[in-house]
Structure 1
Amino acid sequence: MTSVHHPFDTRIFYKEIRTLATNGYDVTFIAPHDHDECVDGVRIRAVPPVSGKLRRVMGMGWRLIRTALQEPAELYHIHDPELLLWAQILRLRGRTVIYDMHENVPQDLKHKAWIDPRLRKTLSALYQLMERLLLQGMPVIFAEDSYGPHYQWHRGPHETVLNMPLANQLLAIHKEPNPHPALGYIGDVKPWRGSTVTLEALAILKSQGREIVWECVGQLTDVQRQSMEQFIHQHGLNKVNLHDRLKPDVWHPIIARCHIGLAVLESLPNHVNSYPTKLFEYMALGVPVIASGFPLYKEIVEGVGCGLTVNDPNDPQELADCIVQLLDNPEEARAMGQRGREAVRKHYRWDVEAHKLLKFYANLLDIQS
Structure 2
Amino acid sequence: MHALVATVVHHPEDARILHRQVRALLDAGHSVTYVAPFRACNVTPWSELTAVDVPRATGTRRLGALREARAALAEHAPRADALIFHDPELLLALPRRRPVTVWDVHEDAAASLLTKPWLPKPVRRPLGPVVRGFERGAERRMHLLLAEEGYRDRFRHTHPVVPNTTYVPERPPRPPGTDRVVYLGQLSMARGAAELVELGGLLRPHGVRVEVIGAADGETRQLLRQAQQEGKVHWYGFVPNDQALRMVSGALAGISMLRDAPNYRHSLPTKVVEYMAHGLPVISTPNPPAEALVTGRPNGHCGMVVPFGDASAAAEAVLRLRSDPGLRSRYARTGHAIAREEYHWPVQAKAFVRRLEEWVLGSPEVQSESAPRPALVPRHDRTRMGNRQDTGLSSGLA
Give secondary structure in 1 for the equivalent of 2:61: helix
Structure 1 stretches lacking a partner, 5+ long: none
Choose which of 4, 18, 35 in structure 2 pairs with 1:13. Answer: 18
Corresponding residue of 2:53? 46
Q: Say if 2:102 is the partner of 1:98.
A: yes
Which residue of structure 2 lines up, in the alignment, with residue 289 of structure 1? 282
Q: 2:212 aligns with which of 213, 216, 221?
A: 216
- Aligned counterpart, 1:73: 80
Aligned equivalent of 1:174: 173
Report how many aligned residue pairs link the two structures: 352
C-alpha distance in 2 between matches for 1:201 and 1:221: 20
Percent identity of equivalent pairs? 26
Higher helix share: 1
The 1:66/1:116 distance shift into structure 2, 3 A limit, reads closer
Q: In the aligned structure 2, how far is the partner of 1:36 from the partner of 1:330?
A: 40
Contact 1:198 1:319 in 2 (8 A): no
Counterparts of 1:279 and 1:130 in 2: how far apart (Å)?
31
Alpha carbons of 1:119 and 1:222: their partners in 2 closer, same or farther (altered >3 Å)? closer
Q: Which whole-Å deviations, capped at 9, do the CAs of 1:154-176 have from their partners, x for residues lacking one? A: 48xx31100101124xx455136
Q: Deviations over 1:213-268 (max 9, x none)?
A: 1221101346634322324545x53xx32111112332222211211100121111
CA separation of 1:297 and 1:342: change in aligned 2, threshold 3 A: same
CA distance in 1, matches of 2:237, 2:213: 5
Alignment partner of 1:318 is 2:313: yes
Question: Structure 2: which 5+ residue stretches go unaligned?
Answer: 1-5, 365-398
Q: 1:30 Cα deviation (Å)?
A: 0.6
Cα distance in 2 between the residues matched to 1:188 and 1:314? 17
**Which residue in the other structure is 1:360 paired with?**
355
Corresponding residue to 2:257 among 255, 264, 283: 264
- After TM superposition, the structure 1 = structure 2 runs for residues 24-43 of structure 1, keeping only pairs within 5 Å, are 24-34=29-39, 39=46, 41-43=48-50
* Aligned residue in 2 for 1:162: 163
The answer as to whether partners of 2:100 and 2:360 remain within 8 angstroms in 1 is: no
Equivalent-residue separation in structure 2 for 1:214 and 1:11 (angstroms): 25
Question: Are the counterparts in 2 of residues 37 and 44 from structure 1 also a CA contact under 8 Å?
Answer: no
How big is the alpha-carbon RMSD for the aligned residues of Structure 1 and Structure 2? Answer: 2.3
Give CA deviations for 1:89-136 in whole Å, capped at 9, x if unaligned: 2xx325321111111112223454555555433211122123323442
Distance 1:284 1:11 in 2: 16
- Contact map agreement 1:7 1:13 (CA 8 A) in 2: yes
How many angstroms does 1:186 deviate by?
0.6
Q: Distance in 2 between matches of 1:130 and 1:357?
A: 24
Quote how far apart the aligned CAs of 1:75 are: 0.8
Counterpart amino acid of residue 6 in structure 1:
H
CA distance in 1 between counterparts of 2:301 and 2:248 reads: 20
Q: 4+ residue runs of structure 1 moved beyond 3 angstroms?
A: 35-38, 50-55, 110-121, 231-234
Tell which has more relative contact order, 1 or 2 (C-alpha 8 A, sep 6+): 2
Worse-matched range after superposition: 124-133 or 76-85: 124-133
SS at match of 1:28: strand
Taking structure 2 as the reference length, the TM-score comes to 0.82
Aligned with residue 307 of structure 1, among 298, 303, 318 = 303
